Each structure stands twice: as C-alpha cells, then as structure tokens.
Copies of this chain bind each other. A is one copy, B any other.
Amino acid sequence: MPLDLRPSEALGLWHAATLEHVRVIGPDLTIRQLAILLHIYLAPPPHTVRGLAAMLGVTKPVITRALDTMGHMGLVRRVRDDRDRRNVIIKRTVDGALFVEKLGDIIIAEGRKLALAEGSGA
C-alpha cells in the first residue's frame, strides 16, 4: 500500500516533483490545465467540455480556453460528436501521452530520491 503517505513524505514529494516540473517543463501550463490534461489521459473517455467543467468545478469557458492552449501545444485534439453535433469530444494525442508519461517519470524519479534520503536520514 505505497500511497499511505506521511506528511513529510507527501509534501516532500510535491516539493521535489513540482520543482523538477518547473525546471523541465517550464511555466507553459497552469495548474488547471494540468488537472484537465491528467483527467483526459487517466479517466475513461469520452470527455466533453461540460463534463470536464463539472469535474473541476469551473465554468465552461475555462475548459474552452484550456483546450485552445493545449490543442495548440498538440497535447489534445477536439472532435465533433456526430451523434449530437452540439457536443465536442476531447481526444488524446501521441504528444500528450508522451507528455503525461514524462511527468510520471519525474514523479517516480523524485520519489526514489526521497526514499533514499529518508531511508538513511530518518
């Protein structure tokens, strides 16, 4: 049960991985956008604008803007729903999958470093 974290572990991991995130990925993604991206790639499809908005407790324009930005980065893709052409289905992309994978690598790497440090220090 590796996810039963102690406070120092939880915050230490957040600290290390967030720092590395900024260093490697840069500022070109807000926390909201990151949450949206992770949800698209980790929760089962289909994903719609209103669904994402409800999930995060934000308004729809927030989702539209985030999809604009991330679509321009190639991280997601929009497709009209043919069964109800009012809907937009948000699709994953190869670049987006690579991005998420890279983020996972950062978290795992920083977690390993902390495990070593805590194992010897505390």
Contact = CB atoms under 8 A, between A and B. Distances in A.
The secondary-structure label for the interface of chain A is: helix
Interface stretch (A53-61, A67-75, A87-95): A53-61
A12 B42 contact: yes
B38 A7 contact: no
A115 interface: yes
A45 interface: no
| Size range of the chain A interface in the assembly | 35 or more
A118 B1 CA distance: 8
A11 B107 contact: yes
A31 B32 contact: no
A22 B53 CA distance: 11
A22 B112 contact: no
Given A2-B2, A11-B104, A22-B58, 5 more contacts: A1-B119, A3-B111, A4-B115, A12-B42, A15-B42
